[in-house]
Amino acid sequence: MTPMTSVTEAPAAAPDRTARKLTYVKAFNEGLAQAMREDENVFVAGEDVAGYGGVFRMFDNLLDEFGPRRMIDTPISEAALVGLGVGAAARGLRPVVDLMFMDFIGVCLDQIVNQAAKMKYMFGGAVSVPLTITTASGAGLGAAAQHSQSLEAWLAHVPGLKVVMPCDAYTAKGLTVSAIRDDNPVVVMLNKVLLGSTSEVPEEIYGIPLGRAHTARHGSDVTVVALGRMVGEALAAADELAGEGVEIEVIDPRTVQPLDTETLVASVRRTNRVLVVHEAVTFGGLGAEIAAHIQDEAFDHLDAPVLRIGAPFSPVPFSPVLEKAYVPDRARIAEGCRRLLERS
């Protein structure tokens, strides 16, 4: 089945990417503020989002500009918070609700999975739920097992949800804007380690089409499909391998639901080798889904089995030495590419 792509997201023209540099978190903040200026129906609710500006400074200065009507501090009540978003969205608003750490999603999963995701379908199309859920994911900060997970596979499994994983400041802004403009519930998985990273970000508001992958680097020898923070690691591995005369193609799906399998498969048909890398545990992760699509649609083009790199099947460990061993990195990606090239 071809992935469903959103038709409302594409900017009229390709945005100017030669603009100033901004951090990931500031780019997110700017996109959110611009989306709030663009549409009076956008508001933000969550724990410490207003007065404190968000524990990651995601919502800095927004209370000053938008006031307490549109920036709402709530109790630590994620089920009621997401439910507030669902009810408000069903009544025509465009709520942005913040879950702070993605690991907290377990306490409000019903509202996401059984309410937000299914309402339109169950109601015979009578309502849309244009709800954006922002949350910080990922390991690497010594935050341990309950503050470090990447749970995109849980959410990508649920029909009705969309899930985006910005890999840099540019995508943090554009995917957030598109999530807010989208008429479906969208989970924006920001990456904690990337919050202070910088890249070029246009000043004007722009959306990045949901459900469309981006080829971050062109190459002919191996396709590396990387999610979220792993895009940067894959690009670094590609730099390293270029010195060995190996050309890596790096693809950033940007949206894991809907997943742009077309772009992935087309790349594999050219490179004949593919590695999928994500921070989440390998078992049952997006890598398995992507591998299945590739063998379905490009089996005859493969010179080696699809290689998956993810975290081991363990909770995220605390001690930095263990955490470093846990999270995939550029060295493991480069090593994986070399292994793929040794075959055939």
* Active-site annotation holder among 30, 147, 233, 293: 147
Assess contact for 266 and 230: CB atoms under 8 A.
no
Contacts of 327 (CB under 8 A, 6+ apart): 139, 140, 279, 311
CA–CA dist 192, 270 (Å, integer): 34
Q: Applying CB under 8 A, does 77 fall inside the site for another protein?
A: yes
How many residues of this chain interact with another protein, rule: CB under 8 A? 50
Kindly state the smallest distance separating residue 253's Cβ from another protein, in Å: 17
278 given a catalytic annotation: no
Which amino acid, one-letter code, is at 179?
Answer: A
CB of 65 to another protein, least distance (A): 17
**Going along the chain, which residue ranges are E strands?**
21-23, 42-46, 71-73, 94-101, 132-137, 162-164, 186-191, 198-200, 214-217, 222-226, 248-252, 255-257, 274-281, 307-311
Bridging pattern class, strands 222-226 and 94-101 = unpaired
Determine if 89 is a binding residue for another protein (CB under 8 A).
Answer: yes
Smallest separation, CB 84 to another protein (Å): 4
The span from the CA of 85 to the CA of 92, in Å, is 11
Please identify, using beta-carbon distances, which residue of 124 and 245 lies nearer to another protein. Answer: 124
Find the part of the chain contacting another protein (CB under 8 A) among 58-66, 181-189, 231-239, 324-332.
Answer: 181-189
Nearest CB to another protein, comparing residues 124 and 243: 124
Name the nearest CA neighbour of 3 among 298, 284, 296, 256: 256
Beta carbons of 304 and 239 less than 8 angstroms apart: no
Instruction: Give least dist CB 99 to another protein, A.
Output: 14
Taking phi first (over 0 means left), then psi (-120 to 50 degrees means alpha), and beta for anything else, what does residue 163 get? beta
Contacts of another protein in 110-139 (CB under 8 A): 110-111, 114-115, 119-130
Q: What is the contact mask toward another protein in residues 18 to 57, using x (rule: CB under 8 A)?
A: -------------------------x--------------
Catalytic residue among 30, 47, 78, 249: 78
User: For residue 220, what is the enclosing H or E element?
Assistant: none
Judge whether 301 counts as a catalytic residue. Answer: no
4 is a site residue for another protein (CB under 8 A):
yes
Interatomic CA distance for residues 286 and 265, integer angstroms: 15
Does residue number 87 form part of the binding site for another protein (CB under 8 A)? Answer: yes
Single out the residue of 27, 88, 133, 307 in contact with another protein (rule: CB under 8 A). Answer: 88
**What residues are annotated to the active site?**
78, 147
Q: Which residues bind another protein (CB under 8 A)?
A: 4, 6-8, 43, 69, 72, 74-75, 77-93, 95, 107, 110-111, 114-115, 119-130, 159-160, 162, 182-184
